[in-house]
Amino acid sequence: MLSIVRTRLGSGLATLPSCLNSRAAIRGTPALLCRHQHRTFSSEPAGVKVLYDGLCPICVKEIGLLQFLQRNQPGKVDFVDISLPGYDGAKYRDVSYEMAMEEMHVIDEKDEVHRGIPAFAVMYSAVGLGWLGRFMMWPPVRPFMDKCYAVFAKNRLKWTGRGEECTTGRCEKKTR
């Protein structure tokens, strides 16, 4: 494989990945739709960091599924529970607890922070569900996804038995 790349580069026949030549790239479609972006020549795995609320039962179920899907690729995705006392936003591109509680945050292999639906698209792509991420980002679907996620993000604390006080400081699920 490496010899083919060297040959193409040396002969000047190297071309950009097809996703960079497509009409989608011209329209400004996010680069995560490109299958080539996850390849790295580093000896260490790049890793995607998913910041999630470990006290949210809905979030924990989804993260459990994603952990199962990436079980054969250790180091590909690092799931970071922001509800643990040791969470330090400075280690994660200054994404504070409060910011992470407001909406989903994912830090990609290039150390770029994604929020909301783009965060889900990066996260799903990292565990092998790229088709789902691309669907969520597809222009006819994206506005609907954004609206649905905004409703969920606004109400998830209430729906999971926690109050607004959980957006600042640490909180526990209310017991009745």
Q: In 12-21, which positions are buried (b, 16+ CB within 10 angstroms) versus exposed (e)?
A: eeeeeeebee
Q: Determine, yes or no, domain membership for 173.
A: no
164 against 41, higher pLDDT: 164
Q: Determine, yes or no, domain membership for 78.
A: yes
The pLDDT tens digits of the residues spanning 75-123 come to 889 999 999 999 999 999 999 999 999 999 999 999 999 999 999 999 9
Q: Determine, yes or no, domain membership for 2.
A: no
Residues near 54 by Cβ (< 8 Å), separated by ≥ 6? 60, 81, 82, 83, 84
How many distinct structural domains can be found in the chain?
1
Q: Give the domain range for residue 56.
A: 45-167
CATH number at residue 113: 3.40.30
pLDDT at 32 > cutoff 80: no
pLDDT value of residue 7: 41
Give ∠ CA 108-77-144 in degrees, rounded to 5. Answer: 60
Q: Determine, yes or no, domain membership for 35.
A: no
Q: Determine, yes or no, domain membership for 17.
A: no
Q: Determine, yes or no, domain membership for 29.
A: no
Q: Determine, yes or no, domain membership for 49.
A: yes
Q: Determine, yes or no, domain membership for 141.
A: yes
Largest CA distance in the chain: 71
d(CA 137, CA 82): 25
Instruction: Count CA atoms within 13 Å of residue 167 on its CB side.
Output: 11
